[in-house]
Chain A
């Protein structure tokens, strides 16, 4: 390798570092903007949940998801109203609790800050994406050869998932604060504890199965994380609704925050859909890993700690899906399972690399 190439690579790596630090700075600003949104939002006194839980007993409400579309009769000039589809939830009365307005709580200034926060998040995403890209170019391979690279890619993907959900007009803006908090923690960990100089891969990592395996693992992790945040908020919101339904009065802070979140049933459903949607990809990730292990180590499954914990995580998510399909395990119990499953995932990601020695997945660069 010529010196010239080496210096370009080093300067690329340098640029990557600068971009990652800039992304962190911008995310920090976004973090404060989200906080401000929540603070301004607390001015509004919405209490629709209590109203819905205590008063609302009318059987069916027209759902927002069924807009009355006007259909123009072919050739004709009369515009006919298409009959409206009435949606009724089959669950408990809980399913009719309306979603909160989001962090800004309907407050205009709050909403403004919320928008600023999302814009900053987009900017931070672009910067960190650039950081990952230049890092990849500097080493001329996929940017996940060690824990540092894994982390910066992971946060980029997690924010990307969030922004994609926003772009598809999903009601997820409320997730901004917990997401960016975790992203900042993760990046902070990456640049301090896990930082590794850019470098090429050791021979064991020269395999395209590795690329497939790791990229899907990162994506799954990001999506599992989004679902876990939703699950945790579901648990809070659910206790809040339980309390209201039981005639209690939750504290002011709890009311202020939880009132602005989506209804418990919405959070629960969202978490379930997200988890269910990535589960096949997680299955695929494990199988891709097994294929790679078959090429690299001579066995496709060997109960290596990392493999074992992937398996445990997989089984835990399978438990969760089963629980959702079984009456009596829905709601909170299933949510605990989902959190346990995510805990397994986290342990697999950090714990196995840091606490369990002797894993063949020792490329982590933290030993």
Chain B
């Protein structure tokens, strides 16, 4: 097949220049290095020579960058570059994990830090790859768009000289005159929504421009999505707030437990609103093998838009955030906040409030700390601080079998275990303290009469007395729940969504629509009988093209039927005798 193999080796093109059906760039081997011209003597010569050389290199570089091969390599690089971020803990995903990793791998950490491995997706090298890719993409789209516009304004190219070399081809002889055949073909093709026109002795037609349009729209939409995502990240803000039932929150930076924002975010961008947590309800599977798995979480809120807007109610669920303007309030976690009262030796209340406890397992076994920072005096009247480490279980296994691990996440048999300390809690020492943990370095434990650590499991309403008249701690009957809310403000989400819709539509058009050309040539043969030739060319080989051509052939053939053959064996090219009308 040596004769044919050298031809049409590229899907995009054939031997004939007009056989190209795509504006996709055709790979050409760029010639690097010399860009022609000689260096004339003198400084002027040097300047022009250097200018030519620089310009040449820039051009060459640009051509390389915007070639399909580079796009392919950059895409490969991007997928490779995304891998480490999924295997190494990321600051942006889970900073606690990063801390753990740092502690566990002191040798690797500096290397990873230098490489930006904890922030892969905002690292220099990752950004470099996708920025190059998008520059390449722009450099690719712009010329292709112009080319496509040119194609739309022009007309389908005329028939190649040898139609029988096209991927799908047929011919027959007919009694109809060539002009009649062309007229009929034009009618058939136009009816089938081919762009078609007659050139010379043939009709040229083309269909499937939506493929190219779809492809351009898709790549353009990628750019829109990238910009939208980048914009969203730069102007994003995100904060967490733990709220106990009955308490509230106003959307100002100081009220957050933690707050993160993009580099271009300013506090003025925070949407003014406030809300109260009226009630939190959780339900759990009561029986069955998955007893205890959560069924529903609902947080009933009362919220106010603006500084003093009207009060409104909303139940926030896990997949149903509260939306206020551009901000969304998500319910992210929940737990219990037993109400604890601490009294001093004289029986004065020095502390009485719900203490949010952090769950450590699925059944909401929780840990926390009660810190009495001021207002307490020891039996001698000295100012001192008190603290209690506490473990809370909503459903205790029962006396005798009782370790402090919860059996069920709902409040069926709540127990609070406490151990007391006195001394300095250390809040003023400048070291940031976790509210849920106790730093007992500067504290002394209360001991019982045997000299053991004083600790006690309390049922609701029970009290633990501290030794030597130091006071008492009471686990009140009231147990509140808390919910954690994440407040997120990320602009340009609509653009990202719009971009993705266009991307999918464009992609589908680009992949499912075939761009194809059809030619119908009709001319009088040597014997005066009209010879019709029809051929089709698709962008890629497809079974649909011969089929479609077959249908078109059928339609044209109906109007210009085969001249009756004298000798049936000669069909479909009948002998001239049968050609007379």
**Using a CB-CB cutoff of 8 Å, which residues 444-502 of chain B contact chain A?**
486, 488, 490, 493, 496-497, 500
A323 close to chain B: CB less than 8 A = yes
Contact at A200–B295, with CB atoms within 8 Å? yes
CA distance A316 to B8 in the complex (A): 28
Whether B558 and A327, one on each chain, are in contact in the complex, defined by CB atoms closer than 8 angstroms, is no
Interface flags for A306-347 (1: CB within 8 Å of B; 0: not) read 001101100110110111011111000000000000001000
Closest residue of chain A to B488, judged by CB?
Answer: A298
B31 at interface (Cβ–Cβ under 8 A)? no
* Chain B min CB distance to A280 (Å): 5
Contacting residue for A329 out of B72, B90, B549, CB 8 A:
B72
A200-B295, A308-B85, A318-B75 known; A92 vs B546 contact (CB < 8 Å): no
- B-binding segment of A36-44, A100-108, A114-122, A288-296: A288-296
Which residues of chain B are near A297, meaning CB under 8 Å?
A: 330, 332
Of the four ranges (under 10, 10 to 19, 20 to 34, 35 or more), the interface on chain A belongs to: 35 or more
Complex interface bits, B68-83 against A, C-beta within 8 A gives 1, otherwise 0: 1101100110110011
| Cβ < 8 Å to A, chain B residues 1-18 | 1-5, 7-12, 14
Across the interface, do A327 and B170 meet the contact criterion of CB distance under 8 Å?
Answer: no
Q: Are A283 and B297 closer than 8 Å at their CB atoms?
A: no
Residues in A171-211 with C-beta less than 8 Å from chain B: 197, 199-200, 202-204, 206-207
Which chain A residues border B290 with CB–CB below 8 Å? 197, 199-200
Of all chain B residues, the one with the shortest Cβ separation from A352 is B86
User: Given contacts A315-B78, A328-B27, are A308 and B86 in contact (CB under 8 A)?
Assistant: yes
Q: Which of A74, A269, A312, A344 contacts B541 (CB 8 A)?
A: A269
* B288, A6: Cβ atoms closer than 8 Å: yes
A247 proximal to B (CB < 8 A): no
User: Nearest Cβ distance between residue B28 and chain A, in whole angstroms?
Assistant: 10
B75 touches A315 (CB 8 A): yes
Give B90's nearest chain A residue, CB to CB: A303
Number of A-B contacts (CB under 8 A): 220
Task: Give chain B nearest CB distance to A346 CB in angstroms.
Answer: 14
Residue from B170, B320, B507 in contact with A86 in the complex, judged by beta carbons closer than 8 Å: B170
User: Across the two chains, which residue of chain A brings its CB closest to B291?
Assistant: A199
Task: Report A203-246 residues with CB < 8 Å from chain B CB.
Answer: 203-204, 206-207
Q: Is B72 within 8 A of A85, CB to CB?
A: no
The answer on a CB contact under 8 Å between A71 and B558 is yes
Are A312 and B82 in contact (CB-based, < 8 A)? yes
Instruction: Identify the closest chain A residue to B72 (Cβ).
Output: A322
Query: Considering only CB atoms, which chain A residue lies closest to B171 in the complex?
Result: A83
Contacts of A319 in B (CB 8 A): 72, 75-76, 79
**Interface segment, B39-47, B92-100, B398-406, B431-439?**
B92-100
Q: Whose C-beta in chain A lies nearest to the C-beta of B506?
A: A280
Interface residue A299 (Cβ < 8 Å from any Cβ of B) = yes
CA distance A301 to B172 in the complex (A): 60
- Asked if A298 and B546 make an inter-chain contact with CB atoms under 8 angstroms apart, the answer reads no
Checking B286, B493, B550 against A300 with a beta-carbon cut-off of 8 angstroms, the contacting residue is: B493
Which residues of chain B are within 8 angstroms of A15 by Cβ–Cβ distance? none
Complex contacts, B79 vs chain A, CB 8 Å: 311-312, 315-316, 319, 344
CB distance from B293 to the nearest CB of A (A): 6
Interface of B is mostly: mixed
B117 to chain A, nearest CB (A): 13
A21 at the interface (CB under 8 A from B): no
Residue in B8, B319, B561 whose beta carbon sits within 8 Å of that of A207 in the complex = B319
Is the pair A86, B288 in contact by a Cβ cutoff of 8 Å?
Answer: no
A82 touches B557 (CB 8 A): yes
B572 near A: Cβ within 8 Å?
Answer: yes
Q: For residue B486, which residues in chain A have a CB less than 8 angstroms away from its CB?
A: 298
B82 lies within 8 A of A315 (CB): yes
**A4 on the B face (CB < 8 A):** no
- A8-56 with Cβ < 8 A to chain B: 10
| Alpha-carbon distance A93/B2, docked complex (angstroms) | 8
Q: In the complex, are the beta carbons of B86 and A356 less than 8 A apart?
A: yes
Report the separation of the CA atoms of residues A73 and B3 in the bound assembly, to the nearest whole angstrom: 39
If A322-B72, A327-B27 touch, does A308 touch B92 (CB 8 Å cutoff)? no
Given A302-B93, A327-B10, the answer on whether A280 and B504 have CB atoms closer than 8 Å is: yes
Q: Which residues of A contact B172 (CB under 8 A)?
A: 83
CA distance A92 to B508 in the complex (A): 29
Task: Tell me the bound Cα distance from A304 to B92 in angstroms.
Answer: 9
Smallest beta-carbon distance A76→chain B, Å: 9
Q: How far is the CA of A88 from the CA of B5 in the complex (A)?
A: 11
Residues on B with C-beta less than 8 A from A73 are: 558, 561
Of the 9-residue stretches A57-65, A123-131, A150-158, A248-256, which lies at the interface with chain B?
A: A57-65
With beta carbons under 8 angstroms apart, the residue of A84, A280, A329 that contacts B507 is A280
Query: Given the interface contacts A63-B546, A297-B330, A308-B82, does A203 sit within 8 Å of B317 by beta carbon?
Result: yes
Cβ of B497: which chain A residues have Cβ within 8 Å of it? 291
Q: Are A203 and B504 in contact (CB under 8 A)?
A: no
B contact residues, total (Cβ < 8 Å): 93
A77 at the binding interface (Cβ < 8 Å): no
Across the interface, do B167 and A89 meet the contact criterion of CB distance under 8 Å?
yes
B430 partner residues in chain A, CB cutoff 8 A: none
Pairwise interchain contact A199-B293, C-beta atoms closer than 8 A = yes
Give the chain B neighbours of A284 by CB distance below 8 A.
504
Q: Tell me the bound Cα distance from A83 to B289 in angstroms.
A: 69
A287 contacts across to B, CB distance below 8 A: 500, 504
| Contact yes or no, A6 B75, CB < 8 A | no
- Provide the residues of chain B in CB contact with A327, threshold 8 Å: 9-12, 26-27
Contact B168 A325 (CB under 8 A): no
Interface string of B282-317 (1 = CB under 8 A from A): 000111111001111100000000000000000001
**A69 interface hit (Cβ, 8 Å):** yes
A206 touches B318 (CB 8 A): yes
Contacts of A344 on B, CB cut-off 8 Å?
79
Contacts of A74 in B (CB 8 A): 558
| Alpha-carbon distance between A298 and B27 when the two chains are bound, in angstroms | 44
Q: Are A303 and B121 in contact (CB under 8 A)?
A: yes
Q: Report chain A residues within 8 Å CB of B27.
A: 326-328
Name the residue of chain A whose CB is nearest to the CB of B120: A303
Q: Does B255 interact with chain A (Cβ within 8 Å)? A: no
Select from chain B the residue with minimum beta-carbon distance to A309. Answer: B86
Complex Cα spacing A69 to B508, Å: 32
Residues of A within 8 A of B296 (CB): 203, 206
A86 to B9, CA, bound (A): 19
Check B550–A69 contact: CB distance below 8 A.
yes
| Interface contact A283-B170, CB-CB below 8 Å | no
Q: Which residue of A lies closest to B166 (CB)?
A: A88
Given A1-B286, A69-B554, A84-B170, decide whether A206 and B89 contact each other with a Cβ distance below 8 A: no
By a CB distance below 8 angstroms, the chain B residues around A304 are: 93
Alpha-carbon gap, A295 to B3, bound state (A): 61
The answer to whether B554 and A65 touch across the interface, beta carbons within 8 angstroms, is no
Distance of A326 Cα from B229 Cα, bound (Å): 29
Contact in complex: A279, B69 (CB < 8 Å): no
Q: Quick one: which of B399-417 are within 8 Å of A by CB?
A: none
**B48: CB under 8 A from chain A?**
no
Q: Does A86 contact B93, Cβ atoms closer than 8 Å? A: no
Interface residues of B in 506-547 (CB under 8 A from A): 507-508, 511-512, 541, 543, 546-547
Min C-beta distance of A216 to chain B, whole Å = 11
- Docked pose: A294 CA to B229 CA in angstroms: 13
CB nearest to B121 among chain A residues: A303
Q: Is the CB of A283 within 8 A of B553?
A: no
Within 8 A of B (CB), among A246-292: 269, 276-277, 279-280, 283-284, 287, 290-292
Q: Besides A80-B557, A328-B27, A328-B69, 4 other CB < 8 A contacts?
A: A90-B541, A297-B332, A319-B79, A358-B97
- What are 6 A-to-B residue pairs whose CB atoms are below 8 Å? A6-B287, A66-B547, A91-B541, A206-B318, A291-B497, A303-B93
Residues of B with Cβ closer than 8 Å to A? 1-5, 7-12, 14, 24, 26-27, 68-69, 71-72, 75-76, 78-79, 82-83, 85-87, 89-90, 92-94, 97, 120-121, 164-172, 229, 238, 285-290, 293-297, 317-321, 328, 330, 332, 486, 488, 490, 493, 496-497, 500, 503-504, 507-508, 511-512, 541, 543, 546-547, 549-550, 553-554, 557-558, 561-562, 571-572
Query: Across chains A and B, which 3 residue pairs bring their CB atoms closest together, nearest first?
Result: A197-B289, A90-B8, A308-B86
